[in-house]
Chain A
């Protein structure tokens, strides 16, 4: 039991740099160790910096991106949660990229075959990515609700509230979407021919762009005639996307999932990393093959475009790494121990 002396309180403050799992395992003895150090030298800024830095390192270890987690059995869940955050953020950018590519593709009369092929790959990977993420969201939310209803949802309440709140905010920020869909409905019905998918693809891309552009823009000055509240909501949308993704990651780590989902956790991460890798390669090939460059993306520009590409590459590498680590764990740890409840 940790005491309530001044030294004990100082030790507790320093231990907060570490993740929960680490604190549960080493917290008591580490606090005792720190209190003994305080007795010899009360103030030592280098010591405090060392603890803070190592605490942050332990947090990185804890999110499934390092083989050094203190809880190897929980690494697959951690990797799944982290991959969800990274891929959800990437999906927004991917949808935005794809919508631009498709709008520009639709606007051209001549399409070189490589541009057609890469646009098709971008479309397929973006669609699959959204389906996988949507499916994950659905499973996690349903399992979380079931767990809460059964009275075992105490650790889920905070992330659940944040996930639902940020999700509702995002939905409210695009509340004009049903009207827009109704306006473009003629593109999806009557007269639609599979041999000429251009108008429907253009319609989808136009709507996807309208939805995602405020989500990826850090600052939206608003447009003439638009209510100020909408401009404020657009400015808060990137934050809401991040809050939603992080809340979902906490839910992924804490929720009781069906055994089949647990068994396929690492496979899901590998699938996500493959999709992000294919999307990135297709995007680079699209530019190389003659797809319009970012200079034509009036609202982004070359520097932002290169930054997005670097972001996508980092996401791909991190998700692939977490997937490989998770697969390594599933090989090493018996399945009955993989996901302690």
Chain B
């Protein structure tokens, strides 16, 4: 497969949640609860708190997001250049899969 999977390989089953978080942070820095609300809004997925913080910790340790100075108890996170690259590569690969899937569906099943 493509090399873009490497940065997310260690996230295992949480790779999907990681992409959702990176996508949310691509729109600007957010703290944990704002992230959950945003992901719920654009993807219809509710990230449970344990999963959210497990993925945040792993993304932070891999340098894909950056923890900013806490505002009282709420600590915002920001997408890093590395995180943006990983997200962009993932989206490009998904777009390629999407285009191939759509083309094959159209050709074999006449479904757009």
| A residues with CB within 8 A of B | 1-2, 22, 25-26, 28-34, 36-37, 46-47, 50-55, 57-58, 67-68, 70, 72
Taking the nearest CB of chain A, how far is it from the CB of B10, in angstroms?
Answer: 6
Known A-B contacts A22-B57, A26-B57, A68-B10; the reply to A33 vs B70 at CB < 8 A is no
Known A-B contacts A47-B49, A51-B49, A67-B10; the reply to A32 vs B57 at CB < 8 A is no
Taking the nearest CB of chain A, how far is it from the CB of B16, in angstroms?
Answer: 15
Is the C-beta of B54 less than 8 angstroms from some C-beta in chain A?
A: yes
For chain B, residues 11 to 52, give those with C-beta under 8 angstroms from any C-beta of chain A.
Answer: 31-33, 36, 48-52
A50 contacts which of B31, B48, B74, B75 (Cβ < 8 Å)?
B48
Complex-state Cα separation, A336 to B52, whole angstroms = 32
B32-A72 in contact (CB<8A)? no
Known A-B contacts A46-B48, A47-B48; the reply to A54 vs B54 at CB < 8 A is yes
Complex-state Cα separation, A174 to B73, whole angstroms = 54
A55-B70 in contact (CB<8A)? no
Q: Closest chain B residue to A66 by CB distance?
A: B10
Please name 6 pairs of A and B residues whose Cβ atoms are closer than 8 Å in the assembled complex, sorted by A: A28-B75, A29-B31, A32-B72, A32-B74, A36-B33, A46-B48
Is the C-beta of B2 less than 8 angstroms from some C-beta in chain A?
A: no
A32-B73 in contact (CB<8A)? yes
B57 contacts which of A28, A34, A50, A70 (Cβ < 8 Å)?
A70
Is the C-beta of B110 less than 8 angstroms from some C-beta in chain A?
A: no
A30-B32 in contact (CB<8A)? yes
B73 contacts which of A29, A50, A58, A70 (Cβ < 8 Å)?
A29
User: Chain B, interface size: which category?
Assistant: 20 to 34
| A contacts with B: majority SS | helix
Is the C-beta of B61 less than 8 angstroms from some C-beta in chain A?
A: yes
A54-B74 in contact (CB<8A)? no
Taking the nearest CB of chain A, how far is it from the CB of B107, in angstroms?
Answer: 42
Number of A-B contacts (CB under 8 A): 64
Complex-state Cα separation, A1 to B49, whole angstroms = 20
A37 contacts which of B49, B57, B72 (Cβ < 8 Å)?
B49
B49-A33 in contact (CB<8A)? yes
Residues in A neighbouring B73, C-beta threshold 8 A: 1-2, 28-29, 31-32
B50 contacts which of A2, A28, A31, A53 (Cβ < 8 Å)?
A53
Residues in A neighbouring B10, C-beta threshold 8 A: 67-68
Residues in B neighbouring A47, C-beta threshold 8 A: 48-49
Complex-state Cα separation, A57 to B11, whole angstroms = 13
A30 contacts which of B51, B53, B58 (Cβ < 8 Å)?
B53
Complex-state Cα separation, A68 to B57, whole angstroms = 8
Residues in B neighbouring A26, C-beta threshold 8 A: 53, 56-57
Complex-state Cα separation, A186 to B111, whole angstroms = 91
Complex-state Cα separation, A218 to B34, whole angstroms = 52
Most buried by A among B32, B50, B74: B50
Complex-state Cα separation, A57 to B73, whole angstroms = 24
A68-B61 in contact (CB<8A)? yes
Residues in B neighbouring A50, C-beta threshold 8 A: 48-51
A37-B70 in contact (CB<8A)? no
